[in-house]
Amino acid sequence: MQRNHGSTGIRHRLPDRLFHWFMAAAVVTLGASAFLPILGLRFDWVPLHWIAGVALTLAIAFHVWRVLAVHGIREMVPDSDDLREVAHGLRNSGHEGLRPAKYDALQKAYHAIAALTVLVLTATGLLMLAKIDTTFWRRDPSILSDQSWGVVYVLHGAASMLLLFLFIVHVYFALIPEHREYLRSMISGAGPENARGTRR
């Protein structure tokens, strides 16, 4: 990794960029179809919501396959240098002495919490498919007890509120001028190879 310190190359490859933007479009569609009816805009939101949810699940399966077959998990797993980075940040002492890394501590933390939240949403959402009639299957709520359904609904609702918050924070940081090169890299692919170790 030292070799790449500060250099510019391909930060995100095409399949990963397609995953990011497809996943983001699915999340926006899911959020809009869930929250707009609550805000008073009435439409037949269920088909749009469940189809986008199934598409999101397939996209995540693709991502996990890419990670396992191509990337490996190393770049996204928090390590001791991430703890040091946070401590340096609190002391305002920069990135001196830290191993350069593709993702910094906060990006890894964001990925962990966003991925977990989305996985809770998709797992509970897939169970909730048993509550609707589609061309492919008939409604059958008897797969779970009323009490278990309660847990599923609370998890789905709570995770959706957390994801709304995470989404707003993520888009804010993606759009500020200081991060323009990262935004460009998620569009064209080209950008800094390391987020930690390129500045200060």
Binding residues (CB under 6 A) for ligand HEM: these are 11-12, 16, 20, 23-24, 27, 60, 63-64, 67, 71, 73, 75-76, 102-103, 107, 110-111, 114-115, 118-119, 167, 170-171, 174, 182-183, 185-186, 195
Distances (CA, A) of 105 to 47, 59, 91, 97, 151: 38, 25, 15, 15, 32
CB of 169 to ligand HEM, least distance (A): 10
Q: Which is closer to ligand HEM, CB of 50 or CB of 103?
A: 103
CB of 105 to ligand HEM, least distance (A): 11
Distances (CA, A) of 7 to 71, 80, 96, 158, 196: 19, 24, 17, 41, 12
Q: Which is closer to ligand HEM, CB of 63 or CB of 95?
A: 63
Q: Which is closer to ligand HEM, CB of 39 or CB of 73?
A: 73
